[in-house]
Amino acid sequence: MRADAVAVRSEEERQGVGPLLRPLAEGQRPLRQQVFERIRAAGTLARVQIAKDLGVSPASVTAVTSELMETGLIEEVAVSRDGDAAGRGRPPVALGVRPDARHVAGIKISDREHTAVVVDLAGRLVASASVTERLAGRSLPDLLEAADALLVRVCAAAGVARADLSAVGLGVPGFVDAAAGVVHWSPVLRERDVPLAAAVAERLGLPVHVDNDANLVALAELWFGAGRALSDFAVVTIEHGVGMGLVVNHRLYRGARGLGTELGHTKVHLDGALCRCGQRGCLEAYVADYALAREATTALDWSYADGRPMGVVLESLFDHAKAGNGAARSIFRRAGRYLAIGLANVVNLFDPDLIILSGERMRYDYLYAADTLAELSSLVLPASRPLPPIEVHAWGDLLWAHGAAALALSAVTEGMLGAGGGREGISA
């Protein structure tokens, strides 16, 4: 055969093998976005370091950073060199995100307290606001009213006009389809399947992105907290329900239909206790607030507890456990054993670098005791390496709202610089 002959392939041979990635699919962000996100993550970063980190030529970095500077998204920043004697010529220059180029808000609506933050494009906190009140009617108009009032307050505190916000991230507890912006179920809404992102966007006159509490806590840890340097970690939240936010390869994992990582509804008992979702044997039917309260009313014969707010019943249960009440303690011990099953499943499935238990500390003082850890070790596949660290992080007041702001910030970044977002947003 001549060297320049065209090879013939059958139809089958022309199918190829290997993953069929979409052009510029997830993880293959355009260079301009990669450069921008690297600068934001580093705080300040020199061009030469960007080229090294991304494995591209200094010329490509210069071209991209010039474009980002022209559009006002980044700026040159003087960095002082340690031990540098004054007057030795031009100070070294790095690049930083121009903080005031954009602002976003993050809002958390829960059944007890609403919080909001405004952060700038560099991710720095500009202002925060919080309101302690119940959403009495649990209706959509109530929620819209609460979000609007909170936004007015936080914008005033930030000195940023609402119209100058690029996006709002909104967190609610419950089942949320983040991609569709739909809340299938939430304790703060009586209605089901509410297209919340669209409704709030219409009310606020701004682009809105919604997600559930566990995903936003995971995002907050990924952007601002213990998860910044970790590629794979899980956040487990226990409150009214049990939620999980899972970060895989530095990104939040949502599943194909946006319904993944519902740890609370993984089954830990065949034909077990009845769950709020209508099924039996779910993890949260053993460890969530309502499960503990249900046990308390039965085991402690607290008939008076019927009709009382859940928080009051739980406070009382904690108090009894602290005072040494055997029945109250055994309720927590049993719930802790179920929690151990749930966490062992997370370890066996995902082998994360770290598991963060997020919520009120007091709950974990009882649920996550020495017994739980021992139980957990016995349920995890034996390995030569120790268990991943499991840390309790108390809910910071603003943690969840920070996660909502990170959601908004990543959407704004994607819109400005991403592959799908086009470039409409880039001209400031």
Select 282 or 408, whichever has its Cβ closest to Zn ion: 282
Helix residue ranges per DSSP H, 273-360: 284-287, 289-299, 310-322, 326-350
Helix 289-299 crosses helix 326-350 at what angle (to 10 degrees)? 150
Shortest distance, position 288 Cβ to Zn ion, whole Å? 10
396 residue type, one letter = G
Which residues contribute to the site for Zn ion (CB under 5 A)? 265, 275, 277, 279, 282
Question: If you ran DSSP here, which 8-state letter would residue 385 be given?
Answer: S
Measured from the CB atom, the residue of 117 and 291 that comes closer to Zn ion is 291
Q: How far is the CB of 265 from Zn ion (least distance, A)?
A: 4
Q: Supply the minimum distance, in Å, between the C-beta of residue 417 and Zn ion.
A: 39
Taking the C-alpha atoms of residue 238 and residue 75, their distance in angstroms, rounded to an integer, is: 42
Closer CB to Zn ion, residue 197 or residue 283? Answer: 283
Least distance from Zn ion to the Cβ atom of residue 239, Å = 15
For residues 411 and 179, the answer to whether their CB atoms sit within 8 Å is no
The token duo for 425 is 């947003």
Only one residue has tokens 């607290």, namely: 302
Q: Which is nearer to Zn ion, 277 or 354 (CB)?
A: 277
Which of 196/242 has CB closer to Zn ion? 242
CA geometry: angle at 377 spanning 375 and 378, to 5°? 65
Using CA atoms, how far apart are residues 227 and 261, in angstroms rounded to an integer?
Answer: 17
Beta carbon of residue 124, minimum distance to Zn ion (angstroms, whole number): 39
Q: How far apart are CA 370 and CA 398, in angstroms?
A: 29
Query: Between 57 and 279, whose beta carbon lies closer to Zn ion?
Result: 279
Dig out the tokens for 331 from the structure.
């309720």
Task: Give the Cα separation of 428 and 417 in Å (integer).
Answer: 12
Q: How far is the CB of 285 from Zn ion (least distance, A)?
A: 6
Nearer to Zn ion, 230 or 277 (CB): 277
Cα gap 149→416, rounded to integer Å: 28
Q: Which is nearer to Zn ion, 185 or 302 (CB)?
A: 185
Q: What is the smallest separation between the CB atom of 267 and Zn ion, expressed in angstroms?
A: 8
d(CA 133, CA 224): 27
Question: Under a CB-based contact definition with an 8 Å cutoff, are residues 33 and 417 in contact?
Answer: yes
CB of 355 to Zn ion, least distance (A): 21
Q: Are strands 44-45 and 93-97 parallel, antiparallel or unpaired?
A: antiparallel
Best CA proximity match to 212, nearest among 110, 356, 103, 350: 110
